[in-house]
Structure 1
Amino acid sequence: MSVDTYVERARTRVRTEREALDAKRTAFERFDRRVRSISTDPTPAASTSATAVTGTERRVRSADDARCRDVRQAFEETVRPHSLDDVEGSGDESLLETVRSELTESIALALSPATDASFSPQLKRTVVAETTARRNEVVALEAALSREAAHLSDAADAVDAVTERIVDLDETPLTALGFEALEARHETLDELRSRCADLARRRQEFLTGTTNNGVEAGVSHRQLPPYLYRDFPVDHPVLSTVATLDATCDDCQRAVRRHLVRRV
């Protein structure tokens, strides 16, 4: 008898996502350092341009602030590749669209070459603050995935133990068992179903919890299944596996009871 489970596939998915998040957190840290290194002092070139042009041309020249270009370039070289990896079919997304999705619309607007804005101290503080907030969110999600990985590891051990016991029982056909042996098998299957119920209870308790990254960010565990397992054939790999194992044990018990009745 073979029992299909989704737990190992879930563990692989979590490992892959943790690696991606680690890279994204590093990207935000690199972007933060580069933004902090950019001065907000007006450049001589910008001052000269401001005296040489007027009207619409002045706005365009001012908007194309070299320091804003540096911020856009820093974002493109650090965060953007990891942002595009998050969403399928996002390869055609413009740089400023990615800035808007990762930071805010106001930051994307302020950094746009079509906007009459310069890299002011206030804009720099805003970019740094939003970058820090996004990094904290990633850190909180990494912590939540660490807990998910540990929970899946425990679940895998429990599932393997139940599955191996079911396979062991199946090696001896019911026709070869006497009345007492059939009763013992029925009790064993009861115990295995109790293990399944306990695993389901612990999974539900885990899903009602939250992982907090200090006071900056928190992740509800209810958000993890749709985020991690959206491409799976089931929404909840652990609970679906437990349900499959319990149903298998139930079928086995029904078969045992039929044989018990024949021996009465």
Structure 2
Amino acid sequence: MTVTTTVDRALERVRTERDAVQDKRAALERFVARVEDVSVDPTPPPTRASTTAGGGTLAARSSPTDGGRHEVRTAFAETVRSHSVDDLDDDESLLETIASELSDSIATALGSTPDGAFTPDLKRAVLSSTRDRVDETQVVAAALDREATHLADVRDEIATITDWLVDADDTPLSECEFDELATRHDRLAAHRERCDRLVRDRQAHLAETTNQTAKGAVAHRTLVTYLYDDFPVDYPVLATVVRLDAVCADCQRAVRDHLVRRA
């Protein structure tokens, strides 16, 4: 019988998050491709002076077009937005989402103000900021991969212990010979040592940081805090292993009692 633990749920959570991050990275890359195809707005012609009836002059400015900025906003809405906002029915505006993903200044520059334009500098800024976000998602994905690998290893080691406990439970202690009890006691001691090692390994993993590029790093403890925020325990791996060690300790005491009575 396979015993399902919180570690299994944690692994499923990591895999779901990893898929979401990979989807977002692909969306950001699609956005980059579309922005690269957007032409910058033409440079407005010089200010023309017109003469008034009284002989004075008025400056007449050409109104820049919103074409390029509109194309970029549309591209963002059709690629990145659904991967940035958890609930598309909420009140967050498109420009607010752009600000959270790229920057406040870029969102302001992309706004449909009458005196704005999609300039070469603005295009470079949009592309640079988006590529930074692509790099960041790559680092997060790498950290999630490491977490998934670690969880899978822990799950397998936990399964080895729980499977043994389930099998051992089929034979009552009263039916075991003295040597069988001694062997069971030693096996439980080995399982407890394994639990102790798993705790140490997990603590070491939490203290590490994934650095995939010069532009980003993910502290594993910070990632874990985010991933398991809605779990009943803050650290599902540690909680599961500590609980398993306690079960092994109880079993070991019961075996020891039988050994003492038969000595």
Partner of 1:74: 75
Length, aligned pairs only: 255
Rounded to whole Å, the distance in 1 between the matches of 2:88 and 2:247 is 40
In structure 2, C-alpha distance between the alignment counterparts of 1:89 and 1:251, rounded to whole Å:
51
2:20 counterpart residue number: 20
Q: Would the alpha carbon gap of residues 238 and 259 (structure 1) be closer, same or farther in structure 2, given more than 3 Å must change?
A: same
Please give the per-residue CA displacement for 1:114-159, whole angstroms capped at 9, x wherever unaligned: 4632111111111111101111000111111111111112111111
Instruction: Work out which of the two has the higher radius of gyration on C-alpha atoms and give 1 or 2.
Output: 2
Structure 1 outlier segments of 4+, above 6 Å: none
Q: Which residue of 2 aligns with 1:125?
A: 124
Q: 1:115 to 1:140 in 2, by over 3 A?
A: farther
Quickly say closer, same or farther: Cα 1:192–1:237, change in 2 above 3 A.
Answer: same
Q: Pick closer, same or farther for the CA change 1:90–1:258 going to 2, 3 Å.
A: farther
Give the distance between the partners of 1:139 and 1:168, measured in 2 at CA: 43
Which one-letter code corresponds to 1:133 in the other structure? Answer: D
Question: In the TM superposition, what is the alpha-carbon distance from 1:252 to its structure 2 partner?
Answer: 0.6
Identity of aligned residues (%): 51
Which residue of 2 is the match for residue 225 of structure 1?
Answer: 224
- Work out whether 1:157 is the aligned partner of 2:153: no
Instruction: Provide Cα deviations, 1:184-211, integer angstroms capped at 9, x if missing partner.
Output: 2211100001111111211222111121
Deviations 1:57-108 (A, max 9, x none): x79x54x6211111111110110011013xx687321101101111111111
**RMSD over equivalenced CA pairs, Å:** 2.8
Alignment match, 1:35: 35
Which residue of structure 1 lines up, in the alignment, with residue 165 of structure 2?
Answer: 166
Cα displacement (A) at 1:4: 4.9
The offset of 1:31, in angstroms, is: 0.7
The alpha-carbon deviation at position 3 of structure 1 amounts to: 5.3
C-alpha contact 2:135 2:213 (8 A) present in aligned 1:
no
Give the structure with the larger helix fraction: 1
Deviations 1:167-188 (A, max 9, x none): 1221111111233332222111
Measured in 2, the distance between the counterparts of 1:192 and 1:127 equals 55
The 1:199–1:218 alpha-carbon spacing in structure 2 relative to 1, beyond 3 Å, is same
For 2:254, the equivalent position in structure 1 comes to 255
Change (3 A) 1:250 1:115: farther
Q: Say if 1:51 and 1:176 are closer, same or farther in 2 by CA, change over 3 A.
A: farther
Higher mean C-alpha deviation, range 133-142 or range 2-11: 2-11
- Gaps of at least 5 residues in structure 1 are none
Under a length normalisation based on structure 2, what TM-score does the superposition of the two structures give?
A: 0.87
Give structure 2 stretches of 5+ with no counterpart.
51-57
Tell me the distance in 2 between the aligned counterparts of 1:145 and 1:174.
Answer: 43
Structural mapping, 1:1-264, within 5 Å: 4-42=4-42, 62=64, 65-85=66-86, 91-114=90-113, 116-264=115-263
Measured in 2, the distance between the counterparts of 1:207 and 1:74 equals 38
CA contact (8 A) 2:3 2:163 kept: no
User: 1:242 and 1:129 mapped to 2: Cα distance?
Assistant: 44
User: Equivalents in 1 of 2:175, 2:154: separation in Å?
Assistant: 33
Structure 2 contact 41–67 (Cα < 8 Å) conserved: no
Compute the TM-score of the two structures, normalised by the length of structure 1. Answer: 0.87
Give the conservation status (yes or no) of the 8 Å contact 1:84–1:90. Answer: no
The amino acid across from 1:11 in the alignment is L
